[in-house]
Amino acid sequence: MAISDVATFAHLSEADVEALGREFDTIRRDIEESRGADDAAYISRIISIQRRLMVAARLTLFASSFPPAWVAGTAMLAAGKILENMEIGHNVMHGQWDWMNDPEIHSGTWEWDTTCPADQWKHSHNFVHHTFTNVIGKDNDVGYGILRVTSDQKWHPVHLGQPVYNALLALLFEWGVALNDLDIEAIRKHEKDPKEIKRQLKGIWRKVRRQVGKDYIIFPMLSGPNFLTTLSANVTANLVRNLWSYMIIFCGHFPDGAEKFTEEELENESKAEWYLRQILGSANFEGSRLLHVMAGSLGYQIEHHLFPDLPSNRYPEIAERVRALCEKYDVPYTIGPLYRQYGQVLRTILRLSLPTTSVPPVPDAPGLRRTSTEELRRHAGPMAPQAAVA
């Protein structure tokens, strides 16, 4: 069942919550005061590596009719697109590097290599998602408008198709992201200004035209007789980037332990309670430094949600302090291997394609491990379809 009071769920007093909030404020202040040349060099180095990968990929694909060149060019192109979208674009647009005052690496000027316009992404993601993280009815990222990812969402026969919707969303993830800020549910309920819808659609069309022209017309044409093999390489690289981005993002929000919340939780929510909601609503995964960089540092999703505008290269050290605080205050810190996190996500999506019921969380006895609501739901099992839609 979605949480309406994070402090009660976490078994913390009001004083404990405020004390925890002050500790997180201290972490923010320490990182802000220590930002410097090493951090600036990090993002500049990542951007340089990404651009070299893209140049090498494009040059290699001029010989794409030769199978080894196709494989090498496609691999480099996919890696370059992943780096640009995840560790660079996503984090730059969060304002993580604005303190450098570099107009080329600034949230106000960066336009990333995907079909979603930067301004619409910053509204749907930076503002809506990060403000209302996992709040049902407020955060459009809870299921992206097409998936049932919690039993608090009412079941409908249309959800029987979730395995198919999920596969399509994974393959076409950049297109789903491009449409996210439109808020299809608000449009369906006639709650959105038609002029705003038209403005957003024009922005999406301009960006789509640019991306499609670049990847599927201009670069393949530059390959001359290798047009079709270069085109197939670009299509493949974009599909790989989509699948990777989808998996990383879903692993941060929908595995067991990543809680959902009711709008009631937002009433008079303090900054400290907001911090606590970010911890309870997010999940990390373990891995090498290379894995984390290719994941946009979103293996540290908890830290990212606590401090979305702090430099991503500092998340490993931030994570040590956050985890220690979670242990100190007995707050859940959800983490596990990437394969396990995604396995839980996929299991939840498949299970919730069928009618299920919500099960209220049961407080644990002192000294016992806190049980997540998702674990309780899993043991609840299916209920009769007529009850699900009542």
Residue 357 has a pLDDT of 60
Show Cβ contacts of residue 333 under 8 Å, excluding neighbours closer than 6 positions.
279, 284, 302, 322, 323, 326, 327
pLDDT at residue 385 in the model:
32
Domain regions of the chain by residue span: 6-325
Distance CA 309, CA 130 (A): 11
- The span from the CA of 340 to the CA of 43, in Å, is 30
Instruction: Say what the pLDDT of residue 383 is.
Output: 34
> In this structure, what is the dihedral angle of CA atoms 134, 139, 142, 148, given to the nearest 10 degrees?
110
217 half-sphere exposure, CB direction, 13 A CA radius:
7
Please, which residues bridge with residue 81 across strands? none
Alpha-carbon distance of 94 to 88, in angstroms, equals 10
Query: How many whole angstroms separate alpha carbon 280 and alpha carbon 261?
Result: 10
State the pLDDT at residue 211: 96
User: Dihedral, CA atoms, 221, 65, 112, 238, nearest 10 degrees?
Assistant: 120
Residues of the chain with pLDDT under 70: 357-390
| pLDDT number for residue 339 | 96
Q: How far is residue 362's CA from residue 241's CA, in Å, rounded to a whole number?
A: 40
Quote the mean pLDDT of the chain. 90
Residue from 36, 130, 37, 128 nearest 91 by CA: 130
pLDDT the model gives residue 390: 28
Nearest to 167 by CA among 242, 252, 258, 254: 242
CA dihedral of 93, 95, 100, 102, whole degrees rounded to 10:
30
Q: Taking the complete model, does pTM exceed 0.85, yes or no?
A: yes
